[in-house]
């Protein structure tokens, strides 16, 4: 089935949660927090939808005010929420984000339990895995059962159905018992992926090397055709059979880096699937270095612009803003 015959361009499974981000202080000097919709897979979908693609999310939130807010936020962002389940007994997962003076983040999760980890395999509709051109998953939903089994089975089913499978480890150490358990699960999941995004820290964790090409090719031997390594303010590196592409990021005023990597990935998947019509591994293998370079530039611009506003989903930039950023050539030096 070609991309044009798929009813959904991009489907994703995983966590959808509340990001509480710093919002100044009250008159007593106490820290205030702003409620923002978040969760990496949901953020990726929001970016893809902002670019005009058809997206669908599968996950679970509580039957509480936070769950209502997330449902409304995804729908407002153009994401199909018909597979967003509600749990009457477990509350919506919450994350508090702390920002340092450069806008970099640290997280505190309230997830013991949280509704997102309660998603069961039998709650994943077949239409999510059978009717998408690209299927995306991350590793936050691999930390606990039953969502681990639901996620891995969904990714395997989507691949069997002919979808291009995308994977972002998105390692959060405080959600795992220890680094070795995390490394094992993250590494095994890579075997299901056609394309993968990692940070430089995740690359070192999974491969034991900080050398970008060496680490990228080690991951490619595990499964993915191409590996993107995000380097924060330094840009991104793309390791493919066609070669290695490095592109610096753009010089923008950074307010909050929350969701920047997810915006990068949502824009990358849109470029590959919507513009380059990549529907399978063979299509990725056929891309030229010039096409990969343009895709990384586009994704870098999306990620950079997202950092200029607070929150994740509300900060996702429009296509014309991304293209204008690329044309500006204002690269961070």
Catalytic, out of 19, 80, 87, 262:
262
Q: Is 157 a catalytic residue?
A: no
Both tokens of residue 138? 């991350």
Beta bridge partners of 243: 240
Under 8 Å CB-to-CB from 286, ≥6 apart: which residues? Answer: none
Identify how many contiguous H helices and E strands the chain contains and give both numbers.
11, 13
Q: What are phi and psi of 177, to 5 degrees?
A: -60, -40
Separation of alpha carbons 36 and 50, rounded Å = 17
The CA distance from 110 to 91, in Å, is 10
Cβ-proximal residues to 107 (8 Å cutoff; 6+ apart), any chain: 95, 96, 97, 98, 172, 174
Q: Which residues are catalytic?
A: 262
């Amino acid at each position: 089935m070609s991309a044009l015959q798929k009813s959904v361009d991009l489907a994703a499974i995983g966590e959808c949660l509340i990001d509480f981000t710093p919002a100044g202080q009250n008159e007593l000097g106490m820290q205030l927090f702003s409620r923002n919709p978040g969760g990496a897979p949901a953020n990726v979908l929001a970016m893809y939808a902002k670019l005009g693609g058809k997206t669908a999310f599968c996950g679970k939130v509580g039957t509480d005010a936070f769950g209502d807010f997330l449902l409304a936020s995804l729908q407002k962002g153009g994401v199909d929420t018909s597979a967003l389940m509600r749990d009457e007994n477990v509350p919506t997962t919450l994350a508090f984000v702390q920002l340092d003076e450069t806008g970099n983040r640290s997280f505190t999760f309230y997830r013991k339990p949280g509704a997102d980890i309660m998603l069961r395999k039998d709650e994943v509709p077949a239409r999510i895995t059978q009717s998408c051109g690209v299927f995306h998953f991350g590793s936050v939903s691999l930390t606990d059962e039953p969502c681990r089994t639901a996620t891995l089975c969904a990714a395997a089913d989507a691949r069997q159905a002919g979808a291009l499978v995308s994977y972002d480890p998105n390692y959060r150490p405080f959600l795992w018992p220890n680094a070795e358990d995390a490394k094992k699960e993250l590494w095994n999941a890579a075997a299901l992926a056609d394309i993968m995004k990692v940070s430089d820290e995740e690359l070192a964790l999974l491969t034991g090397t900080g050398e970008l090409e060496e680490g990228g090719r080690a991951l490619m031997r595990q499964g993915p055709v191409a590996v993107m390594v995000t380097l924060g303010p330094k840009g991104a590196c793309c390791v493919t059979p066609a070669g290695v592409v490095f592109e610096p990021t753009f010089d923008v005023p950074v307010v909050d880096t929350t969701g920047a990597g997810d915006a990068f990935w949502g824009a990358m998947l849109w470029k590959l699937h919507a513009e380059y019509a990549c529907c399978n591994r063979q299509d990725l293998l056929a891309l030229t270095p010039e096409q990969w370079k343009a895709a990384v530039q586009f994704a870098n611009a999306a990620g950079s612009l997202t950092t200029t506003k607070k929150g994740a989903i509300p900060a996702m930039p429009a296509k014309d803003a991304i293209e204008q950023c690329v044309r500006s050539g204002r690269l961070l030096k």
